[in-house]
């Protein structure tokens, strides 16, 4: 973990924790001459839940892949916790391994199966441990993917629109589950999403990516004890601001 450096773009009011879990400086990534990331800087404190918003094609997933070390063509400096886990938009479970084997895959702990079983219990999939992934519902598969990410005890959890393919009710259930798991394990989280309300419900801080840089950063200072009240005046104000930032003039 690197020592904390001043925030160049985003300046939250309250001082974050002393150490910076994740730091990115001057990230540049081009696709066929088009700069998707253009000198991007990012800081995520340990245990902080950050949501990253941006319209389609602005490079949200590119940034996430860069942080995950999945993109070797990105330039700049990245400092992250040792253990990073990713959950993608699609569950990406290996269909030829059982759910349990998927969760245990690549675990370097002494008893990977036991750890995987515990993780599956945490996401409520105990009885589906021996199921083939193709027999799971969309929500179950995404929960298995979440278990597979969390069982690695990541210092940084990267979530790439993991709920966008789910129906509205399942998505709400998943939001509660993710919050519960985050509060228990306290990884830093970067949630990439295009859903303003999802960002507001889950995150400590919301960021907007546009033109290859983070153009907006604001804390969400509303207690998370219960489901955040959508009608809270501060949330309504922030929602309007975010929609304006995203180039959506009217709330829809």
Q: For binding to other proteins (CB under 8 A), which residues are involved?
A: 68, 70, 83-86, 88, 90, 92, 94-97, 105-106, 108, 114-115, 118-119, 121-124, 126-128, 130-135, 137-140, 143, 148, 150-153, 155, 167, 169-170, 172-174, 177, 180, 184-186
Per residue, the 3-state secondary structure of the chain, as one string, reads CECCCCCCCCCCCCCCCCCECEEEEEEEEEECCEEEEEEEEEEECCCCEEEEECCCCCCHHHHHHHHCCCCCCCEEEEECCCCEEEECCCCCCCCCCCHHHHHHCCCCCCCHHHHHHHHHHHCCCHHHCCCCHHHCCHHHHHHHHHHHHHCCCCCEEEEECCCCCCCHHHHHHHHHHHHHHHHHHCCEEEEECCCHHHHHHHCCEEEEEECCEEEEEEECCCCCCCCCCCCCHHHHHHHHHHHHHCCCCCCC
Question: Toward other proteins, which CB reaches closer, 176 or 221?
Answer: 176
Shortest Cβ distance from residue 136 to other proteins (Å)? 9
Question: Toward other proteins, which CB reaches closer, 57 or 95?
Answer: 95
Question: Toward other proteins, which CB reaches closer, 7 or 177?
Answer: 177
Shortest Cβ distance from residue 171 to other proteins (Å)? 9
Question: Toward other proteins, which CB reaches closer, 57 or 106?
Answer: 106
Shortest Cβ distance from residue 182 to other proteins (Å)? 11
Question: Toward other proteins, which CB reaches closer, 58 or 61?
Answer: 61
Shortest Cβ distance from residue 225 to other proteins (Å)? 17
Shortest Cβ distance from residue 133 to other proteins (Å)? 8
């Amino acid at each position: 973990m690197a020592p904390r450096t001043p925030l160049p773009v985003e300046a939250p009011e309250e001082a974050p924790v002393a150490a910076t879990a994740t730091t990115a400086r001057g990230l540049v990534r081009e696709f066929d001459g088009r700069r998707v990331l253009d000198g991007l800087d990012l800081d995520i404190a340990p245990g902080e839940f950050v949501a990253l918003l941006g319209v389609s094609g602005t490079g949200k997933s590119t940034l996430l892949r860069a942080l995950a070390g999945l993109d070797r063509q990105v330039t700049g400096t990245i400092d992250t916790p040792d253990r990073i886990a990713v959950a993608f938009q699609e569950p990406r479970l290996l269909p030829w391994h059982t759910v349990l084997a998927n969760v245990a895959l690549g675990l370097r702990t002494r008893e990977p199966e036991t750890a995987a079983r515990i993780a599956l219990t945490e996401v409520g999939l105990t009885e589906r441990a021996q199921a083939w992934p193709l027999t799971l519902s969309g929500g179950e598969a995404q929960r298995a993917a979440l278990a597979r990410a969390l069982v690695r005890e990541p210092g940084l959890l990267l979530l790439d629109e993991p709920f966008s393919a789910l129906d509205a009710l399942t998505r709400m259930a998943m939001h509660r589950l993710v919050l519960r798991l985050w509060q228990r394990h306290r990884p830093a989280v970067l949630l990439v999403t295009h859903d303003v309300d999802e960002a507001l419900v889950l995150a400590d801080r919301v960021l907007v990516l546009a033109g290859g840089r983070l153009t907006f950063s604001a804390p969400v200072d509303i207690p998370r004890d219960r489901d955040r009240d959508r009608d809270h005046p501060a949330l309504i104000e922030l929602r309007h601001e975010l929609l304006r930032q995203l180039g959506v003039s009217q709330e829809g």
